Amino acid sequence: MSDATHVASGKVREIYALDDERLLLVASDRISTFDVVLPTDIPDKGRVLTGVSAFWFARTREIVPNHLLELRDDGRSMECRRLEMLPIECVVRGYITGSGWKDYQATGEVCGHRLPAGLVESEQLPEPIFTPATKAHTGHDENITREQAAELVGEERFAEAERISLALYRHGSEWAAARGIVLADTKFELGLDPAGRLVLGDEALTPDSSRFWPADSYAAGRGQPSFDKQFVRDYCETRGWDKTPPGPELPDDVVEGTRARYLEAFERLTDIAFDDYLADPEVVVR
């Protein structure tokens, strides 16, 4: 870490430059809800996100190459290839929720996809859809049409990004469904390597980049509880917090319950004991 220079901060992750070709991505234990980072950490959350990402990177190499070079022994840091990131977020939705549900209610469409009439909140879509968004550095990502996305990255690149994103979502959602988790939607970031090939970057198919719903309580026609963050959301609601910073500190039982949900997501998805990951993070990529 001593010879790495900090280059960027996300809400819950930090990026350091190792050299001209490599970055270090470090996942903290910070948690955000209603778009605000809370003052209380969830112990091991960063390790869960890094371990789940590395697990998927190892298992989706046949779909698309990825930026992971090495998983560090701390379990929360990944050495990655530096890419030229595409200026779009590659979102895939298998269920109608969030901004997709808002757009559908207003227009009957999401990112130019005309959807069947009469869908209810959280309903599964006939087919997963690719719904790109622009990267907003302040505020919210904005959904854009395929034409707008193709203008930003080029027709050919757009078609390839869509094909890759849909294939990743199908793989992840089938795997998760078999383990009692509905992967409602997810966001990928793709970049170009020096040869101009598309490479999967960022984190992938984690609870922070996706909506995970518990399959056993899923029912269309209402909002769904979050697999990982529901205790935090419920606590924030009972506090009557107005969702502007600063957020409330979390009591120990909410921290422990939330940590248990992250660990459960890790173990259900990977079929690996979290303690085995802590002892040797490389277990997720073997």
Q: How far is the CB of 226 from ligand Q0N (least distance, A)?
A: 20
Nearer to ligand Q0N, 189 or 228 (CB): 189
Angstrom distance (rounded) from CA 155 to CA 198: 14
Q: How far is the CB of 199 from ligand Q0N (least distance, A)?
A: 8
Nearer to ligand Q0N, 25 or 119 (CB): 25
Closest-CA residue to 51 (of 214, 210, 232, 265): 265
Q: How far is the CB of 201 from ligand Q0N (least distance, A)?
A: 4
Percent helix, strand and coil across the chain, each to the nearest 5: 35, 25, 40
Nearer to ligand Q0N, 94 or 201 (CB): 201
Looking up tokens 């298998």, which residue turns up? 94
Nearer to ligand Q0N, 87 or 108 (CB): 87
Collapsing DSSP to helix, strand or coil, 226 comes out as coil
Q: How far is the CB of 65 from ligand Q0N (least distance, A)?
A: 12
Token pair of 195 as six digits:
């040869």
State how far the alpha carbon of 163 is from the alpha carbons of 1, 146, 175, 184, in Å: 37, 13, 18, 18
Nearer to ligand Q0N, 24 or 182 (CB): 24
Residues interacting with ligand Q0N, by CB under 6 A? 8, 10, 13, 15, 23, 25, 67, 80-83, 85, 189, 191, 201-202
Nearer to ligand Q0N, 13 or 211 (CB): 13
HSE on the CB side for 268, CA within 13 Å?
Answer: 24
Do residues 264 and 44 touch, judged by C-beta distance below 8 A?
A: no
Q: Which residue number is nearest to ligand Q0N in terms of Cβ?
A: 10
Q: How far is the CB of 87 from ligand Q0N (least distance, A)?
A: 11
Report the interhelical angle of 252-270 vs 45-59 (nearest 10°).
10
Token pair of 168 as six digits:
């990743």
Q: What angle do CA 38, 44, 47 make, to 5 degrees?
A: 110
Collapsing DSSP to helix, strand or coil, 230 comes out as helix
Nearer to ligand Q0N, 185 or 189 (CB): 189
Q: How far is the CB of 7 from ligand Q0N (least distance, A)?
A: 8
Q: How far is the CB of 22 from ligand Q0N (least distance, A)?
A: 9
